[in-house]
Every structure is written in structure tokens, then in C-alpha cells.
Structure 1
Amino acid sequence: MPALELFCGIGGFAASAAGLDVRIVGALDQSQEALDVYRLNFPAHRTVQTDREKITAEELASFHADFWWLSPPCQPYSVRGARRDLADPRARSLTNIMDEFQRIPEERLPTHLALENVEGFSLSRARERLLDLLAGRGYLVREFRLCPTHLGIPSRRPRYYLAASRLPVQEVRIPPSPGRFPLDAYLDPPLSRNIPQELLVPAGIIDRFRDGMRILDASSPDAYTTCFTSGYGRSIMHAGSYLRQGAAVRRFAPEEIARLLHFPDGFCFPPHMPCRVRWRLIGNSLSVVAVRTVLSAFPAFAR
């Protein structure tokens, strides 16, 4: 099935769709850094750097995609933001796509469409407008809330998902959890006592913010991380968890966060990409295992 990634980022959907009857015909993003990571890991996919605020109905239809994946900016709907919804400039890309979607001729519309966003999207005017638009164009819709912890992953990333189709859409089947996977299974082995400087949290920061920092012991069977955001490595609080290593406290490496999101073995970043950029990009990505579960709502992808 030809699929279009409208907010491809570093390739979360592409990783989720691996092994399914999906052929990526277009992966769109505005960020050159995100596309650099995407191209490194999915070199066979056609990537396009484009401004989604200006993309037209004709351009969207020209991909001849039967499935659209959308993961638009979450800041307009985040509980930690101003929640300006459609008034937020960062909502313009989704607004434009909805405007142009309305102009696409019936015979050129995708059969299926899915969207991922933060839980706050479920209470937004953007959702209301999207639901009205989809209903008006003949789509059946199901909505889900899913967190990786429901699937045994020791990392919280609760998200809202929408699955829309011109064909019947089924309930998402969450497989029985085998229990929570241990956190230390996702971590890099400690190669030495020296923690890389970009990961080390200074003692003064810990003393000042300890009460608001989630510092984990990886050996604890109950350890799980909070949601990693694009501000991780820059913001001290409300951006993700920390790890106790010996007497020190360190940040999670971007590669460790990618494993917690269940990106495949071998997923990598360009070698010269700074750690702070890797954190920002992975914080803007999605849970591969959760998205793969949501795709089971479409009979064409169900196994």
C-alpha cells in the first residue's frame, strides 16, 4: 500500500510500518536535521523538505498515496504549554493540510488516514474540525489512547491516536503484556566509570532541583521513565527522567531513548550530530511499538 508521511521526523512511522504491506512514496518534513536522520536510516524512501503550511491539494494528491500518516506539532495542545490550539502558529501546518484535504477530488483521496498527538489533542478544536472534515468526506473514525506502558515498555508516553478509513476500522487489539520489560535492557553498557560530559548532571543542579527530578535506579524492577520531550538536555524538569550511575546522576543517551521507543537495532544518528540535536529530534518522535499496535485497526495491516 503506498503511504505518505506528512510529518516524517526521524522515521518513527517508517520504522513502525517495516514488514507490513506498506511502501513509503513520500516522507515530508521541514527540518533538515530530521531528514538527515531519516535518510541515513531509510535511504530507499523518497524524502521531501517542504513547508506543510504551504503545501497544496495538488501536491498532496500527486503522491497517489492510499494511506496518510500525520504526526503534527503537539505544542498547541500540550498540557505544559499555553494550549492555544488553532490560534497557535505551530498549528498552521495541520490547518493548511485540512484546508487542502477538503479540495482534493473524491477519487484522489487516500483510503486510510491516521494521526498521533498528545492526549490534549482529544479536547482541542483542531480535533473537532478534523472529525467534521473526515465525516464530511465519508470516513469512518476510531479514536484511541495508548501508552507504551500498556505494552510492557518501561517508559510513559501517553498519546492520542486517530484511525480513519473509507473501509471498516476495527478496535485496536492490545496483546497481553508479558509483564514489564526491565529498564536496564534498554541501556548502554557502562564502558567505564567516566560518564560522557554531555550526559553528566552537575551536582549543583541535582541539589537545586532534586525534588522535581525523576532519578531512576535501573536495577529496580519497577523503574520506568517519564515522557522524554524535545527539551530534554536543555530543560531540567518535566522533560524526561534521569539515571543514577554509581554516585553520579546522568541523562539518558539519545540512543537509549530510541530503544525505549522501540526503534530497530541499527537505528542511528549522523556521527557528527550534536547530542542536544539528537535529544530534540528523538523527543519529537513517537513510540514505534505503540504506532504498530494502532495500525492493527486497519484490516490491511492486521496480523
Structure 2
Amino acid sequence: MWTMSPPCQPYTRNGNMMDLDDPRTVAMKHTLYLISQVRPHYIFFENVKGFESSNGQKMLVSILSESAYSFQEFLLSPLQFGVPNSRLRYYLIAKLEGKGSLMQDLEAISYKPYFDRKLYQCNCPVCSGRSRSLENDHVNHFERNLEFCDRISAYLEADNLAEPHEGHKLIDEKVLEKGFSKLDIVTESSNKTCCFIKCYAKKIEGSGSYYQMTSCEEAHQLKQLLLNGDISSLDYAKRLKLRYFSPREIANFMCFPQSFRFPETVTRAQRYRLLGNSVNVKVVAHVLHWLISA
């Protein structure tokens, strides 16, 4: 089995959108050439949403078709699997002729995880048949899947959710003063967080969600004080006790096992970068299971 997750910058909205003209696609193009020569039995490919409409995707499916592969493409989010994290990604799985067949439609990419074989002892929304297609849904909200998602409290480190844990870092006052309105703020009862990317805790807007340790009841009271002019906007933001999610918590949202540990030599910033460039383990496990068991 060959697994591929080439650089996403040529296809992401925050990148340069140069597609195959981006020098970072050289390795992918060479690997696709090798696929046509070596013809591995199984292929797994992952990238960002946006790849599905790129010239890179056209090159990928063209080589697979010419090399006698059956394949299926998906756009899937962890939200469909009950995980309270939005991370919509493109997946392709392929089998060489003679190794079984996958459902295939060159005109459509599936938004629905319709896997016909359950993971052993898995009762997630996909395996239990509760998950729904994202097609025609608003890609930034996924309301139709939120009812199946866990609350984020199940993914947090500390037992005392109202106070900072040793590994937690409060958002700096200067950041609150400049970028409070841009923060995606969630509470322990929320069932959705934004996609965490490699610049989390460095870039505020669009890099992930931030946790409010103040209770919703207290936050409502603070909001009333703000509206009445009794406290300033900065005081309001500070008293919400907003913090960054820790690398361990983001690893939880990415469904890494509790046994997973970073080496002590890896800094906090490096951990955020590595996790931002990683994959959701639960989603990938389901996709790979269907590939090898179909």
C-alpha cells in the first residue's frame, strides 16, 4: 500500500493556488509516474478541499484510470464521525485490477461515508448509519451532523474546566485587544470546533477555536454588564478567561490514542505545526478499512 499526503499549499485558499505549477508538486508528480510503473496494489491519498477541482486531481485520476485501478473519491469531515472538529478533507482510495473493486463515479465525488463494512466494535455515526451526507450543506457549519457529535468537554485535559491547567495558556491581553472579534470561541458544551492548522496560537483568525473557561451563565452576566456600559470590551474579553487548546487536546480532536506522546524535545510551537499538518486518525481508519476490506 502506498499512502500519499502531498503539500496542500498549491490547492488551499490560504495558499498561492498555483496547482501543478507550484514547485511543491514535483514530488507528487514523480510519485504518480512511479505508480504507473510500479502499480502498487493499494493507494491512499489525502489532501485539502480544493484539490478535487484541481489539475492535480485530474492528473491523479487519469493515471489511475490508465493503470487499471478502480477508485473512489470522498470529501469527508470528522463531524460526520461524531468528532466535534471541522476538518473537511479530500480522500481517494484505489485498488489495482484483480484486488477487488471500489464503487466508482468519475463525474461525482462522494460527500457521504457510505462504508459497507463496520470497524470492529465501532459505534460512531458512520458505522451505526446515523451520519449524513455533507452534499448541499453549508461547508462551514454542517448542522445536519452536529446532533451526532460529542461535546468538546470529552476531549479536554483538565478535570476542572473552569481553571487553567498546567499545560494551558491563556490568550494574551494584547491579542484580545486587537483580535477578540475574530476569535472562534467555544465552551465545554459546544459540539463543534474549527479546523486547527499549523499556525494555531501564532495566527489568530482562521487557525482554530479557543476555549472559554467562564461558564455560559457567567458569560451572559458579563455580556449584560458590557451592554450596560459597566465594563469595557477588553475587561469583558479578559473575564471570559479564554485560552488556547493544548497540543494534547488538539491531538484528542484529531483522534490520536491516549498512548500517543510527543518527545520532550519537541516544542509547543512545533507540536501545533505537526498537528496542523496531520490527519484525523478516526476518519483515516474508516477510509483505510473500506479500502482493504471491500
Identify the range of structure 1 (166-175 vs 68-77) with the bigger mean alpha-carbon deviation: 166-175
Distance 2:66 2:210 in 1: 46
Which residue in 2 is equivalent to 1:169? Answer: 102
3-state DSSP of counterpart to 2:56: helix
Which among 8, 31, 39 is matched to residue 97 of structure 1?
Answer: 31
Which among 70, 88, 101 is matched to residue 140 of structure 1?
Answer: 70
Which residue type is aligned with residue 87 of structure 1? D
Which residue type is aligned with residue 84 of structure 2? P
Distance 2:75 2:60 in 1: 17
Distance 2:272 2:73 in 1: 29
* Runs of 4+ residues over 6 Å off in structure 1: none
Which residue in 2 is equivalent to 1:215? Answer: 185
Q: Is the 8 A contact 2:168 2:245 kept in 1?
A: no
Distance 1:197 1:257 in 2: 12
Distance 1:296 1:137 in 2: 23
1:185 maps to 2:128:
no
Which residue in 1 is equivalent to 2:211? Answer: 243
Q: Deviations over 1:98-134 (max 9, x none)?
A: 1233333xxxx21111101111100110110011111
Superposition map of 1:149-164 within 5 A: 149-164=79-94
TM-score, normalising length from structure 1?
0.71
Which among 44, 51, 54 is matched to residue 124 of structure 1?
Answer: 54
Which residue type is aligned with residue 98 of structure 1? L
Which residue type is aligned with residue 149 of structure 2? R
Identify the range of structure 1 (238-247 vs 280-289) with the bigger mean alpha-carbon deviation: 238-247
Which residue type is aligned with residue 264 of structure 1? P
1:278 maps to 2:271:
yes
For residue 194 of structure 1, report the CA deviation from its aligned partner.
Answer: 4.7
Q: Deviations over 1:125-179 (max 9, x none)?
A: 0110011111111001111111000111110001111011122015534323482
Cα RMSD after superposing both structures:
2.0
Which residue in 1 is equivalent to 2:176? Answer: 206
Which residue in 1 is equivalent to 2:246? Answer: 253
Q: Is the 8 A contact 1:148 1:156 kept in 2?
A: yes
Which residue type is aligned with residue 226 of structure 1? C
3-state DSSP of counterpart to 2:86: coil
* Aligned positions, number: 229
Q: Is the 8 A contact 1:169 1:297 kept in 2?
A: no
Which residue type is aligned with residue 145 of structure 1? L
Residue 265 and residue 301 in structure 1: after superposition, are their counterparts in 2 closer, same or farther (change >3 A)? farther
3-state DSSP of counterpart to 2:293: coil
3-state DSSP of counterpart to 2:148: coil
For residue 199 of structure 1, report the CA deviation from its aligned partner.
Answer: 2.3
Identify the range of structure 1 (173-182 vs 235-244) with the bigger mean alpha-carbon deviation: 173-182
Distance 2:115 2:48 in 1: 18
**Identity score, percent:** 31
For residue 190 of structure 1, report the CA deviation from its aligned partner.
Answer: 5.3
Distance 1:301 1:241 in 2: 36
Q: Is the 8 A contact 1:195 1:250 kept in 2?
A: no
Structure number, greater radius of gyration: 2
For residue 301 of structure 1, report the CA deviation from its aligned partner.
Answer: 3.3
Which among 226, 230, 233 is matched to residue 201 of structure 2?
Answer: 233
Which residue in 2 is equivalent to 1:84? Answer: 18
Residue 195 and residue 294 in structure 1: after superposition, are their counterparts in 2 closer, same or farther (change >3 A)? same
Unaligned runs of 5+ in 2: 104-113, 117-125, 131-146, 215-238
Which among 224, 228, 231 is matched to residue 192 of structure 2?
Answer: 224
Which among 68, 73, 97 is matched to residue 2 of structure 2?
Answer: 68
For residue 235 of structure 1, report the CA deviation from its aligned partner.
Answer: 1.0
Residue 90 and residue 190 in structure 1: after superposition, are their counterparts in 2 closer, same or farther (change >3 A)? farther
TM-score, normalising length from structure 2?
0.73
For residue 195 of structure 1, report the CA deviation from its aligned partner.
Answer: 5.3
